[in-house]
Amino acid sequence: MRATKSSAATVFVFAVTLAVSAWSLAWAQQADLIVFNGKIATVDNNDSMVEAIAIRDDVIVAVGKNEDILKLAAPGAKKLDLRGKTVLPGLIDVHWHVTGFMPQDFPEVKGINVPPSADKGVVKRGIEETITKRVKEVKPGEWIIVTPTGDAARQLILYEEITRAELDRFAPDNPVMLQETGSGAPSQILLNTRAREITEKHFPAFKLFSDQDLKADGVNVSAVIVKDILLAGREETYAKSLKQLLMTSALPGGITTLGTRVLRTPLNSLFMLDRKGEMPMRFGWLFSDGSYYNPEGFYKRFPNMAGVGTKYLWSIGVGEEVTDSPSTALCTTMPIINAEFKGRLEKAGINPCFLEHPVKRAAVKDQIQYGRGVEYHASGDKTVDILLGIIDEIRRETGMSVEQIREKRLTMEHLQMVRPDQLPKLKEYGIIMADTPDYLIHNLDPTKPANVLRNYGEQYLGWYSPVKSFLDAGLRTVIAEAFGKPFEAMKLLVTREACFTPRLPGEGEIGVEKCRVLAPEQKIDRINALKMVTRWSAYYMLRENELGSLEVGKWADFVVLDRDYFTIPEKEIAQVKVLLTALGGKVVYTSSDFGPIDKALFKSPEYFGKAALAN
């Protein structure tokens, strides 16, 4: 997986790669759909470009020149004229937590916002007033969820300047969950006594974690409570809401396949959609948060289901997901140089290395030994050391070979600080590195604990999302958590230019954008960036024989773009818009900018959306 040296003149020479192999046409039978008149990037081993694709059912049966492929049309076959546009394989986001719901469908669990302020006293009074007011509006025993935003709210929870006893006093007869949000996801969290009692009743393993253990793990704790306690038994409504969320958030960005952790309620909802034939896209799920559900011993009994499923829904493994706390501090061997930040961390009393908690470490060890362990946060280099050490320990105790480890296709995610000396061991074990380009922006936000520039020193910036180093070392590398904006993620990796606009007090001058190129030696070319969301991601998803490229025998998932990804200036990559998304040859999203399109080409009428429909 070494980075390829390429340019528009050498890799994508259109005239050279139009030729169709004779065996492809010979294998093909009559097609029921012809997609033609485009600049189609197959992303095959030769980076070939073709003009047309023949599809039968939902599988590609031939690729090549317009004149050759059009001859394969069966009587009455549908045809999609690409109008000269650039086409890519369906994009894959291996790690994106789109297992929630449309907010309007479950307003009771959305949480009540508390306005941000730089003054902790103001925020604390806002929390008390919000809870006190809500107590009068709900029945005893009903949950109250409050979501203050910003650094002051974060400090209140981390420094225990607001306590469980205070939440008990504000709402003695109601379970209360206080969850600070800073980036759209709950980060710091605090439960009152009633909330802890209910959670421990549902999941006894929670008793093994103190408030101190939990307070920096809001991402997981909140998800467990909302999805598997508050919404338990509401799978049918959840399924409808989840389907709409996937249709409106992923498909317009060209994402046809995604992978993420799931809990019981969303997984049951996904199964329901799949049984009904209503999955709007392909979905690889992993069972996560094992230490909260079942600590050590569970995965010895849990079957290894990795790869098992249908065309639209399958298991990609098991995992702990949050194994360190980048929202609190990086789990790193590097010394903190920012005295203010160091003092904050010491005051909070938080260990950002979650894998040093014996319950979590034991669960992860079981996951790796008995299944396929994926989606482990490895934001800091010390977490990478711990995960590699767990693998070494398993090998010593079991005699498992290096090849047996490699066959598991283990993954590490986010990768905000990886040392160069760790790369050979990561390569030896075949670890898939799932990078989140968007996190580069953290280096421009002074409130982010993962700000390497401010908290650890500029000399370590080349270790932050070091994708070029991964590729040069021969590591399989993919883009993870593009947040529905894959072209923005690809642009970040190609240019390494991050831009940030402060929106909350303490982040900087509100509304004034600042940009900087971070560690330019880690830039990669746009061809490798594309492979990170297509061909290489298909390997992560255990579907490399069906997904990731537009080749004979693979599923016909593709996206049509409004401009040529391969020739536009690098800075414009983030501006690429998807005009049409197809799943198995059937249109599941289109913009009116694409032009008129036949209704018969859509998967179903519910996907018409903003399409300009042909008569």
Any idea what DSSP says for residue 555? B
C-alpha radius of gyration, the chain, whole number: 25
Stretch 119-141: mean pLDDT: 95
Output the pLDDT for position 419.
98
d(CA 208, CA 283): 32
251, 280, 447, 521, 611 from 607: Cα distances, Å: 10, 9, 41, 43, 9
Alpha-carbon dihedral sign for residues 168, 171, 175, 177 = negative
CA distance 309 to 305: 8
CA–CA distances in Å: residue 211 to residues 71, 199, 214, 471: 67, 13, 5, 41
Sheet of 73-81, strand order: 59-64, 52-56, 31-36, 73-81
Structure tokens at 399: 């005699």
Q: Is the pLDDT of residue 297 over 90?
A: no
Cα of 288 vs its chain's centroid, Å? 14
Question: Which residue blocks in 417-503 are alpha helix, DSSP H?
Answer: 423-428, 452-455, 467-472, 486-495
pLDDT in tens, 578-604: 999 999 999 999 999 999 999 999 999
Confidence (pLDDT) at 97: 83
Pairwise CA distance, residues 464 & 522, whole Å: 9
pLDDT value of residue 3: 46
Q: What is the pLDDT of residue 185?
A: 65
Is the model's pLDDT at 200 over the cut of 70? yes
Average pLDDT, whole number, for the chain?
Answer: 91
Q: Report the pLDDT value the prediction gives residue 90, as an integer from 0 to 100.
A: 98
- Which of these, 308, 311, 287, lies nearest to 298 by C-alpha position? 287
CA-to-CA distance for 31 and 69, rounded, in angstroms? 9
Between 193-202 and 218-225, two packed helices, what is the crossing angle to 10 degrees?
Answer: 70
> What is the structure's pLDDT at 2?
44
Quick: pLDDT tens for 404-447: 999 999 999 999 999 999 999 999 999 999 999 999 999 999 98
Q: What is the pTM of this model?
A: 0.92
- The per-residue pLDDT for range 506-516, each reduced to its tens digit, is 888 999 999 99
What's the one-letter identity of residue 493? L
- 326 pLDDT band, cuts 50/70/90, is confident
Do β-strands 49-50 and 52-56 pair in parallel, antiparallel, or remain unpaired?
Answer: unpaired
Q: Which residue has the tokens 């390497």?
A: 452
Q: Give the burial class of 16: count Cβ atoms within 10 A of its Cβ; 0-12 exposed, 13-18 middle, 19 or more buried.
A: exposed
Name the nearest CA neighbour of 608 among 491, 600, 267, 347.
600
- Provide the token pair at 570: 């690098």
Q: What's the mean pLDDT in 465-470?
A: 98
Identify which has the larger pLDDT, 491 or 509. Answer: 491
Average pLDDT over every residue of 310-322? 93
Fold of the 14-89+549-607 domain: Urease, subunit C; domain 1 (2.30.40)
Residues in a beta bridge with 79: 34
Give the Å distances, CA to CA, from 444 to 452, 453, 464. 9, 8, 13
Task: Return the beta strands (E) in 339-467 as ranges.
Answer: 376-377, 411-414, 432-435
Distances from the Cα of 169 to the Cαs of 163, 176, 211, in angstroms?
10, 11, 17
Per-residue confidence band for 178, with pLDDT thresholds at 50, 70 and 90: very high
- Each residue's pLDDT tens digit, 64-85: 999 999 999 999 999 999 999 9
* pLDDT tens digits, 340-372: 999 988 998 888 899 999 999 999 999 999 999
Question: Does the pLDDT at position 324 exceed 50?
Answer: yes
Check whether 13 has a pLDDT greater than 50. no
556 with 55: CB under 8 angstroms? yes
Domain(s) labelled CATH 2.30.40.10 in the chain stretch across 14-89+549-607
Is residue 593 packed enough to be buried (19+ CB in 10 Å), middle (13-18) or exposed (0-12)?
exposed
Using pLDDT thresholds of 50, 70 and 90, give the confidence band for residue 294. Answer: low
Average pLDDT over residues 251-258: 97
pLDDT at 434: 97
Mean pLDDT confidence for 249-261: 95
pLDDT(395) > 60: yes
| Apex 90 CA angle, 602 and 220, nearest 5 | 105
Confidence of residue 7 (pLDDT cuts 50, 70, 90): very low
3-state DSSP helix/strand/coil % of the chain, to nearest 5: 40, 20, 40
Alpha carbon distance 557, 402 (integer Å): 34
Phi, psi torsion values for 39, nearest 5 degrees: -105, 95
